[in-house]
Amino acid sequence: MNVIDKTLYHQIHPFKMVTDVTAAFIAVYLIWLHLIIEGLVVGFIPSLAISFFMIRTMDFEKQKQSKFGKYVKRYMGKGADTARSIGFLVMLGGGWFHLWWLIVLGFLTIIGAWLNGLVYKRQMPAESGQRKGQR
């Protein structure tokens, strides 16, 4: 499995998901307390460190072959990654300004990015090697 695939599939490993969710909520709490450096460190460093470690040392074939892996391959592109990042920044903004509704909006943005494939069914190119424009 190449690094691009590992980068994609490590996102759905339970260890990575627990790390990201836990770090995000602790970071929002720290930002709420206006501990900006601590909040940013907790919000980004564990996720980056775990990602680096996992991508370098683990095999994600089990995740790739799962239904969730197939879903991620099909629907979790750069747009979904961007939406998830924006959602996290909105959550941090909500923490800074003590606005619960903004934290919830950011969280729902992240959930929406993960679930976008259930709402917007994307057509996949034919497996037969057809080029663009050919029918």
> Do residues 78 and 59 touch, judged by C-beta distance below 8 A?
no
Instruction: Answer yes or no: is 125 within a domain.
Output: no
Say what the pLDDT of residue 119 is: 80
Query: What's the pLDDT at 63?
Result: 96
Distance CA 69, CA 76 (A): 10
pLDDT at position 124, please?
A: 54
What range does the domain containing 40 cover? 3-119
Q: What is the pLDDT of residue 96?
A: 98
How is residue 9 written in tokens? 């599939």
Those residues whose C-beta lies under 8 Å from the C-beta of residue 17, and which sit 6 or more positions away, are 11
Low-confidence ranges of the chain (pLDDT < 50): 126-135
Q: Where are the alpha helices (DSSP H) in 33-120?
A: 36-57, 61-65, 67-75, 78-96, 100-119
Domain count, the chain: 1
Do the domain assignments include residue 124?
A: no
Amino acid 32: pLDDT: 98
